[in-house]
Amino acid sequence: MSKNWRPATKLVHGGTLRSQYGETSEAIFLTQGFVYENSAAAEARFKGETDGFIYARYGSPTNDMFEKRMCLLENAEDARATASGMAAVTAAILCQLKAGDHIVAARALFGSCRWVVETLAPKYGIECTLIDGKDLANWEKAIRPTTKVFFLESPTNPTLEVVDLEGVAKLANQVGAKVVVDNVFATPLFQKPLELGAHIVVYSATKHIDGQGRCLGGVVLSDKEWIDANLHDYFRHSGPAMSPFNAWVLLKGLETMALRVKQQTENATKVADFLAGHSAVAKVIYPGRKDHPQADIIARQMTGGSTLVAFELKGGKNAAFSVQDGLDVVMISNNLGDAKSLITHPATTTHKNLTEDARVELGISPGLLRLSAGIEDADDLIEDFDRALSKIGK
Ligand SMILES: *Cc1c(COP(=O)(O)O)cnc(C)c1O
């Protein structure tokens, strides 16, 4: 039954485990451990002969509800909830690799994700080739006999480029590599990587899943066979588990995610259209617009635009700072997916650690701003931008 529910219904009811009290809202089980009726019951639990929890680092009831709800939404067989998005990314990549293995990754990645594959993995003898993921030929060229993982983000941060997920999955399957997709920017509502052929999906639940700027979280989803063979032991023994309290906050976040993302996307669309018509703006990159350079791929693999808009000002850094400082409703913050509209200047914040060349390669110019649209009234956002843009250079 629940498998056939539409996403908004899954988000409200999916995975709920009611205690003997029949509570309406999901309960928080803030417990480290679990007690057993007798010695034989403990032995059977440890042998895996009976279902149930053993220790909160392995799994616990509130986290289980969150994982089950995410599995339903993603049509995944199994999942593990982690303390942050980066814990999810690191676990998903490292748990399946050993020294001598090779990763191919699209270079347009969230900063910390890029550090994990470019700097951390090589310390342990895992090599990585970073490519421009837009062109499928680059993926094919980078393959080595030792390639085990393809890693990518689509749409990317901050320039909202997309990668052809089906094309990449086909190439990976030819060489037996696993495709790991960081699906944060698309949200689970607008893109289903597993259905497009990817093997593993990761989220920073900190973003749209919480959606109200409260707590960190992450999740790794895949088929049961991959999780049992790769993530299960890594997760138990290296300890990236989510706090049950955060799992509860995130469950409540999921309940309203479809409503929020719908409103955020409508707002993003309206602001993108407004910005595209403004004389101070050099270009607007928004996956929901027909003038996106990869609109054909977006139409094939996504069912909605995005809650994020990237745009470049003609006046470079000075104009970008002037616009940010002139906004009243929209706040300056490097976070995203929040109910509050947030704006950031990637070149001096999220991507300041890249070399100038790397920024140029990624299209992160001094005039680029990234807006994460919130759930405010779109007219207030447009008026805010109109005012801020009129103040450039004044
Ligand atoms: C935020 C983010 C992450 C990291 O998540 P945290 O919860 O901050 O650890 C990874 N990938 C993308 C695309 C993100 O936006």
Domains and CATH numbers, the chain: 7-252 (3.40.640.10), 258-390 (3.90.1150.10)
**Rounded CA gap, 113 and 237, in Å?**
22
Give the pLDDT score at 36.
97
Cβ atoms within 10 Å, residue 354:
18
Ligand 1, residues 90, 110, 214: which to mutate, most atoms within 8 A of Cβ? Answer: 110
The model's pLDDT over 369-386, given as tens digits with 9 standing for 90+, comes to: 999 999 999 999 999 999
The position carrying tokens 């999916």 is 14
The position carrying tokens 């994990």 is 116
* HSE, side-chain direction, 13 A CA sphere, residue 233: 5
Query: Is-contact 221 337, C-beta < 8 A?
Result: no
Ligand 1: which residue has its CA nearest to atom 11? 110
Ligand 1, residues 206, 243, 370: which to mutate, most atoms within 8 A of Cβ? Answer: 206
Q: What single DSSP character describes residue 27?
A: P
Query: Is-contact 80 60, C-beta < 8 A?
Result: no
How far from each other are the two terminal CA atoms of the chain, in whole angstroms?
A: 60
Tokens of 381: 């956002």
Tokens of 176: 């037996």
Closest ligand 1 atom number to CA of residue 216: 7
Ligand 1: which residue has its CA nearest to atom 8? 85
**Rounded CA gap, 264 and 311, in Å?**
17
Q: Exposed (0-12), middle (13-18) or buried (19+): which is 100, by Cβ within 10 Å?
A: exposed
pLDDT in tens, the chain (394 residues): 578 899 999 999 999 999 999 999 999 999 999 999 999 999 999 999 999 999 999 999 999 999 999 999 999 999 999 999 999 999 999 999 999 999 999 999 999 999 999 999 999 999 999 999 999 999 999 999 999 999 999 999 999 999 999 999 999 999 999 999 999 999 999 999 999 999 999 999 999 999 999 999 999 999 999 999 999 999 999 999 999 999 999 999 999 999 999 999 999 999 999 999 999 999 999 999 999 999 999 999 999 999 999 999 999 999 999 999 999 999 999 999 999 999 999 999 999 988 999 999 999 999 999 999 999 999 999 999 999 999 998 8
- For strands 218-222 and 281-285, give the pairing: unpaired
Handedness of CA 264, 267, 273, 276 (dihedral sign): negative
Overall residue count recorded for the chain in this entry: 394
204 lines ligand 1 (CB under 6 A): yes
Query: Is-contact 263 375, C-beta < 8 A?
Result: yes
Please give the helix or strand (H or E) that residue 234 lies within, else none: helix 232-238
**Rounded CA gap, 302 and 306, in Å?**
9
263 lines ligand 1 (CB under 6 A): no
Please give the helix or strand (H or E) that residue 350 lies within, else none: none
Phi, psi of 122 (to 5 degrees): -60, -25
The position carrying tokens 């999942």 is 79
93 lines ligand 1 (CB under 6 A): no
With a CB cutoff of 8 Å and minimum separation 6, the contacts of 233 are none
Distance (Å) from CA 21 to ligand 1 centroid: 36
Query: Is-contact 290 354, C-beta < 8 A?
Result: no
pTM score = 0.97
Please give the helix or strand (H or E) that residue 97 lies within, else none: none
Cβ atoms within 10 Å, residue 261:
25
210 lines ligand 1 (CB under 6 A): no
Give the pLDDT score at 2.
78
Distance (Å) from CA 386 to ligand 1 centroid: 30
Cis (ω within 30 of 0) for the bond into 145?
no
The model's pLDDT over 283-342, given as tens digits with 9 standing for 90+, comes to: 999 999 999 999 999 999 999 999 999 999 999 999 999 999 999 999 999 999 999 999
CA 340 to chain centre: 18
* 3-state SS class at 105: strand
The position carrying tokens 């910005």 is 275
Handedness of CA 328, 333, 336, 338 (dihedral sign): negative
**Rounded CA gap, 394 and 383, in Å?**
18
101 lines ligand 1 (CB under 6 A): no
Phi, psi of 99 (to 5 degrees): -55, 135
